[in-house]
A and B are shown apart, each in its own frame.
Chain A
Amino acid sequence: MKTKLALVFCAALTAFGSAVADETKIRLRDAPEVQTVTANCSGCHSLDYIQMNSKFMKRATWEAEVHKMVAVMGAPVTEEDQKRLVDYLVREYGVAD
């Protein structure tokens, strides 16, 4: 699954050309889950979407966003990874309930 997404990501880099090169400098807040975020999210969008949408979302809102990416946008993210994503997003880019 991760290999497939990584391939999609590479295809996107090629298609997008020079502009996307700058997204490689995006650095998310360091934590053990960052690899999970990169592997599951960056196939479809640059990670500045996360930075831009911070910090104002509570757990329920971040959960809804991750759920939308899976249920609506078709991102193939395992249940376990969804939990890790939400934990990371709430802790590093969210606000307390």
Chain B
Amino acid sequence: MDRRTFVRGVTGGLALAGTQLLLPRSLWAGLPDGTIASEEMFALPGKQPLIKRSFRPPNFETPVSQFTDVITPNDRFFVRWHLASIPEIDPREWKLGIGGDAVTAPFEVTLEQLQRDFEQVEIVAVCQCSGNRRGLSDPHVPGVQWGYGAMGNARWKGVRLKDLLAKAGIGKDAVELALDGADRGALDATPDFIKSIPVWKAMDENTIVAWQMNGEPLPHWNGAPARLIVPGWTATYWTKKIVSIRAVTQPVASFWMAKAYRVPKGKFPSVDRFTSQETAENTPITEIVVNSLVTNVSEGQKVRAGAPLVVKGMAWDAGYGIRSVDVSTDGGRSWQDAELGADLGRFSFRPWQFVFKPSKGAHTISARASNGAGQTQVEQLIFNPAGYNNNVIQRIGIEAV
């Protein structure tokens, strides 16, 4: 069976046991009907088959069953673009400009200079789309209807942004850093995807311009030759194919800052604020909310009664550190500690597992992560119009037979 035939089988709802590509329809019970009908497994050049949400601009998510390792492989890492023109950049031609009205010595840096002239640092960090799980919003809201897989965890290598800004002579009057990548809309009239971060976050030692991902050059689809890494914050600030960073004395007023990626004020427990962009009603999204994902058990799965079942998953947050993951096998009536796995740093996925022997009958499995800031996952969705920050505790029904 060739891949196309296989893909047709999967999208037709045909169950093919024992393969990694299995995508049980019931897993997506919460997604809109049209989302399920239009999804398919599709491999972009250089990528493994991922779940296609849209072809152009390309939006592809990682199937839950593929989050088996704490590090997400580059060829399984999710893909998210806003604009359809995404140039392939020759690394030898690429230049990053550091400038703006708040620097005294603007300069351009080539990839070779970036790799040679600055201290190289590494960090493991979760890259998660602000709208991950948007498709599960109740009621549904417009946008890319993501399931659980618009995220990944990688080891990023590059240069601290604060070192670049120091060389440019950033002044005390800088308010934000304006970020621009090489992507463009199909029409000139479409607003360029320009984002910004506050100066204090830009000067954080963990914020880097990365040119390597899991020991390899970044894939084209994930921002080659270099992208910004903003650990703890959602991926909207992790500008891909970054070509310009400008320290500015006034807040950036682009559509993508002023209108998009905003959450109502006071609804979420985020600690980090972006005060120069706040209005009376809303604020830019900032931190990744504490969350977890069950990766090896899916809705409707049949397991053997009386045999040990190892429930596995990942937990992550904005960098306060995962303190505990509790698991319930009775729909949330009682909770027990899961065992935490390898600690690759406070911005990384934290693997966990929990073993129990299901008695004959139905069980509802849930996982609940808590972090060092005393935050935990929510039982009920905190609804917001753009479907951001969904960290509702999963409820996965299985049957032991």
CB contact between A52 and one of B53, B58, B190, B255 (< 8 Å): that residue: B53
Query: Provided the pairs A52-B144, A53-B145, A56-B139 are in contact, do residues A46 and B33 lie with their beta carbons within 8 angstroms?
Result: no
* Shortest Cβ distance from residue B72 to the other chain A in the assembled complex, whole angstroms: 20
Within 8 A of B (CB), among A28-84: 43-46, 48-49, 51-57, 61, 65, 72-76
* Shortest Cβ distance from residue B375 to the other chain A in the assembled complex, whole angstroms: 30
- Bits for B29-66, please: 1 = Cβ < 8 Å to A, else 0: 00011110111001011000000111111100000000
Q: How far is the CA of A17 from the CA of B143 in the complex (A)?
A: 24
* Shortest Cβ distance from residue A42 to the other chain B in the assembled complex, whole angstroms: 9
Give the chain B neighbours of A72 by CB distance below 8 A: 191, 255, 259
- Bits for B168-203, please: 1 = Cβ < 8 Å to A, else 0: 000000000000000001111111000000000000
Contact A49 B84 (CB under 8 A): no
Give the chain B neighbours of A44 by CB distance below 8 A: 84, 185-187, 190
Q: Is the interface of B mostly helix, strand, loop or mixed?
A: loop
A19 at the interface (CB under 8 A from B): yes
How many chain A residues sit at the interface, stated as a range, is 20 to 34
Contact B140 A46 (CB under 8 A): no
Q: How far is the CA of A76 from the CA of B97 in the complex (A)?
A: 33
Query: Provided the pairs A48-B55, A73-B191 are in contact, do residues A53 and B255 lie with their beta carbons within 8 angstroms?
Result: no
Q: How far is the CA of A16 from the CA of B38 in the complex (A)?
A: 20
Give the chain A neighbours of B45 by CB distance below 8 A: 17-19
Q: How many residues of B contact A (CB 8 A)?
A: 36
B374 at the interface (CB under 8 A from A): no
**Nearest B-chain residue to A69, judged by Cβ:** B190
* Shortest Cβ distance from residue A93 to the other chain B in the assembled complex, whole angstroms: 7
* Shortest Cβ distance from residue B386 to the other chain A in the assembled complex, whole angstroms: 13
A96 at the interface (CB under 8 A from B): no
Contact B142 A53 (CB under 8 A): yes
CB contact between B38 and one of A8, A43, A48, A57 (< 8 Å): that residue: A48
* Shortest Cβ distance from residue B152 to the other chain A in the assembled complex, whole angstroms: 19
B276 at the interface (CB under 8 A from A): no
Contact B35 A52 (CB under 8 A): yes
Give the chain B neighbours of A43 by CB distance below 8 A: 186-187
Query: Provided the pairs A52-B38, A54-B34 are in contact, do residues A45 and B139 lie with their beta carbons within 8 angstroms?
Result: no
Q: How far is the CA of A45 from the CA of B59 in the complex (A)?
A: 11
Give the chain B neighbours of A55 by CB distance below 8 A: 32-34
B110 at the interface (CB under 8 A from A): no
B68 at the interface (CB under 8 A from A): no
- Bits for B65-92, please: 1 = Cβ < 8 Å to A, else 0: 0000000000000000000111100000
**Nearest A-chain residue to B56, judged by Cβ:** A46
* Shortest Cβ distance from residue B349 to the other chain A in the assembled complex, whole angstroms: 27
**Nearest B-chain residue to A15, judged by Cβ:** B85
Contact A56 B140 (CB under 8 A): yes
Contact B55 A54 (CB under 8 A): no
Give the chain A neighbours of B39 by CB distance below 8 A: 52
The residues of B with any CB-CB pair to A shorter than 8 Å are 32-35, 37-39, 42, 44-45, 52-58, 84-87, 139-140, 142-145, 185-191, 255, 259
6 closest pairs, A vs B, by CB? Answer: A74-B189, A54-B34, A51-B38, A23-B55, A56-B140, A46-B55
Show 26 residue pairs from A and B whose CB-CB distance is below 8 angstroms, ordered by the A residue: A8-B187, A11-B186, A12-B186, A15-B84, A15-B85, A16-B58, A19-B45, A19-B55, A20-B55, A26-B38, A26-B55, A44-B190, A45-B57, A46-B56, A48-B52, A51-B34, A52-B38, A53-B32, A56-B140, A65-B142, A72-B191, A72-B259, A73-B185, A73-B187, A73-B190, A76-B187
12 more contacts with CB within 8 A, not counting A18-B45, A45-B56, A51-B35, are: A12-B56, A16-B56, A19-B55, A22-B55, A26-B38, A44-B84, A44-B185, A44-B190, A53-B32, A54-B33, A75-B187, A76-B187
